[in-house]
């Protein structure tokens, strides 16, 4: 069974071709990704309208790239009929710039050996999501292939639970339940319980997402977008010096009775700290000062995340802890989770995504569809019923 997966929820355009083999292993046949990081770096964040335009520009070339990697593309010698051209125009009436390239694509290539199209329908930036959703609708309608709508957050969860057997070959691990997922990305900070049947969101951020806080603090320190990796690098340099950090930032909501988070307070505290250290912003921070702020910030964020996560593990009898989302590639977070789990009073299985798969990509969307197939939970959608939902919940 072959799946073509599409991801466009934020600032990465991704197309992946996966095959579920008879032995239940997942073979990656093609994987194409275009990052908009350079585009958004100059503004320090993602602008939805610009993200949408960039997705629309890249999605067809990436589809050709991924299908070519899979050796699934064969040239066609017949052109699309009038009815199909009209179908494309009507499905892409909000992405006018995609109509001609799509028609050319179908004129050039035959239907590939794809059984399902999996596409992120939310959560994310709605204009960006629609590019992927409308592409899926067109491919599904013209090739007559069923579409599986995928929740981006489920993609982050499932990506942590795959084991790399060899290059481009994965298997899905059997999860001990209940599992708890700590989902930390640029748009989300959530604690999600899973009992094998349903997801239950037990906590979420009340303001900024963790990745967003990383990005904003990075901007204050003059570091480029996305800020997570840059902050993490400075913090690690400071830890190597084994100094006592004179900066201690607040741990908002750490001891609140619920499982919610708040990160905007830490960010504001960083702003005031920088102002005080630079005599009212009259001088630049030196590199050691930047490192100490990055370290204090990472310490505060990780301590709050860990405290709430392990409180939930204890209360809900959690057997498996899954880390997902872009911030899950943070080394200090991974090491701190591992250390805390080692010292916990019972054994907990830990699942971390391969760092390169922690940030957005299409492979995670295809794997999520395969996870549904293997659990007999697959729900396909007719192209006309497919909608993008920026606030989609698990």
- The footprint of Zn ion (CB under 5 A) covers 185, 360
Q: Which does 238 bind (CB under 5 to 8 A by kind): Zn ion, ligand KG4, none?
A: none
Give min distance, CB of 210 to ligand KG4, in A. Answer: 7
State yes or no: residue 220 binds ligand KG4 (CB under 6 A). no
Stretch that binds ligand KG4, among 24-32, 68-76, 179-187, 248-256 (CB under 6 A): 179-187
Give min distance, CB of 36 to ligand KG4, in A. Answer: 11
Q: For ligand KG4, give the closer residue by CB, 128 or 193.
A: 128
Residue 394's contacts (CB-CB under 8 Å, 6 or more residues apart) are 151, 153, 154, 190, 192, 199, 201
SS3 169: strand
Q: For ligand KG4, give the closer residue by CB, 103 or 191.
A: 191
Angstrom distance (rounded) from CA 67 to CA 3: 11
State yes or no: residue 203 binds ligand KG4 (CB under 6 A). no
Query: How is residue 326 written in tokens?
Result: 């872009």
- Measure the N-to-C terminal CA separation of the chain; round to a whole number of Å: 26
Give min distance, CB of 106 to Zn ion, in A. Answer: 30
- Cα dihedral 131, 134, 140, 143 sign: negative
Give min distance, CB of 83 to ligand KG4, in A. Answer: 37
Question: Residue 394, CB half-sphere, CA atoms under 13 Å: how many?
Answer: 25
- Exactly one of 112, 132, 140, 228 binds ligand KG4 (CB under 6 A); which one? 228
Query: Which residue's CB comes closest to Zn ion?
Result: 185
Binding mask 327-366 for ligand KG4 (x = CB under 6 A): x-xx----------------------------xx------
DSSP notation for 325-338 = SGGGG-HHHHHHHH
Q: For ligand KG4, give the closer residue by CB, 146 or 390.
A: 390
Neighbour tally for 217: CB within 10 Å: 28
Give min distance, CB of 204 to ligand KG4, in A. Answer: 14
Binding to ligand KG4 in span 13-52, by CB under 6 A: none
State yes or no: residue 215 binds ligand KG4 (CB under 6 A). yes
Q: Which does 390 bind (CB under 5 to 8 A by kind): Zn ion, ligand KG4, none?
A: none
State yes or no: residue 368 binds ligand KG4 (CB under 6 A). no
Angstrom distance (rounded) from CA 186 to CA 177: 27
Neighbour tally for 201: CB within 10 Å: 15
Angstrom distance (rounded) from CA 234 to CA 333: 14
Stretch that binds ligand KG4, among 23-31, 103-111, 247-255, 319-327 (CB under 6 A): 319-327
In the chain, where does DSSP find H-type helix?
37-41, 48-69, 82-91, 96-108, 126-143, 152-160, 210-220, 227-240, 264-277, 287-316, 331-342, 355-358, 363-374
State yes or no: residue 214 binds ligand KG4 (CB under 6 A). yes
Q: For ligand KG4, give the closer residue by CB, 106 or 297.
A: 297
Per the CB < 8 A criterion, the answer to whether 318 and 128 are in contact is: no
State yes or no: residue 155 binds ligand KG4 (CB under 6 A). no
Give min distance, CB of 211 to ligand KG4, in A. Answer: 3
**Between the CA of residue 355 and those of 42, 96, 328, 340, 352, what are the distances in Å?**
25, 36, 8, 20, 8
Angstrom distance (rounded) from CA 7 to CA 185: 15
Stretch that binds ligand KG4, among 52-60, 64-72, 320-328, 343-351 (CB under 6 A): 320-328
Angstrom distance (rounded) from CA 162 to CA 193: 18
Q: Which does 7 bind (CB under 5 to 8 A by kind): Zn ion, ligand KG4, none?
A: none
SS3 194: strand
Q: For ligand KG4, give the closer residue by CB, 73 or 302.
A: 302
Residues near ligand KG4 (CB under 6 A) are: 10, 185-187, 211-212, 214-215, 226-229, 232, 325-327, 329-330, 359-360
């Amino acid at each position: 069974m072959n799946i073509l997966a599409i991801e466009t929820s934020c600032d990465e355009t991704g197309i992946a071709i996966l095959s579920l083999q008879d032995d239940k292993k997942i073979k990656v046949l093609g994987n194409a990704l275009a990052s908009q990081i350079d585009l958004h770096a100059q503004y320090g964040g993602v602008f939805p309208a610009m993200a949408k335009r960039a997705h629309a520009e890249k999605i067809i070339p990436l589809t050709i790239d991924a299908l070519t990697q899979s050796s699934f593309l064969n040239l066609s010698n017949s052109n699309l009929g009038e009815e199909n051209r009209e179908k494309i125009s009507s499905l892409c009436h909000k992405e006018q710039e995609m109509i001609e390239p799509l028609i050319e694509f179908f004129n050039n290539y035959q239907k590939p050996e794809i059984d399902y199209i999996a596409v992120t329908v939310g959560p994310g930036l709605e204009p960006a999501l629609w590019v992927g959703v409308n592409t899926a609708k067109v491919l599904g309608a013209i090739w007559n292939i069923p579409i599986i709508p995928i929740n981006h957050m489920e993609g982050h969860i499932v990506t942590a639970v795959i084991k790399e057997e060899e290059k481009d070959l994965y298997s899905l691990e059997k999860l001990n339940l209940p599992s708890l997922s700590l989902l930390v990305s640029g748009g989300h900070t959530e604690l999600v319980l899973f009992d094998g049947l349903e997801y239950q969101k037990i906590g979420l951020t009340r303001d900024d997402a963790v990745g967003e806080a990383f990005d904003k603090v990075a901007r204050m320190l003059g570091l480029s977008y996305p800020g997570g990796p840059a902050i993490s690098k400075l913090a690690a340099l400071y830890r190597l010096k084994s100094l006592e950090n004179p900066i201690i930032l607040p741990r908002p909501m750490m001891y609140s009775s619920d499982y919610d988070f708040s990160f905007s307070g830490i960010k504001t505290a960083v702003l005031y700290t920088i102002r005080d250290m630079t005599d009212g912003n009259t001088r630049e921070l030196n590199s050691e000062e930047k490192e100490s702020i990055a370290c204090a910030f990472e310490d505060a964020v990780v301590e709050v995340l860990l405290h709430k996560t392990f409180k939930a593990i204890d209360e809900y009898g959690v057997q498996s802890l899954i880390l997902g989302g872009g911030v899950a590639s943070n080394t200090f977070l991974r090491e701190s989770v591992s250390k805390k789990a080692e010292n916990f009073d019972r054994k907990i299985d830990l699942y971390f995504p391969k760092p390169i798969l922690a940030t957005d990509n299409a492979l995670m969307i295809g794997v999520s569809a395969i996870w549904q197939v293997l659990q007999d939970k697959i729900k396909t959608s007719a192209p006309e019923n497919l909608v993008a939902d920026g606030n989609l919940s698990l």
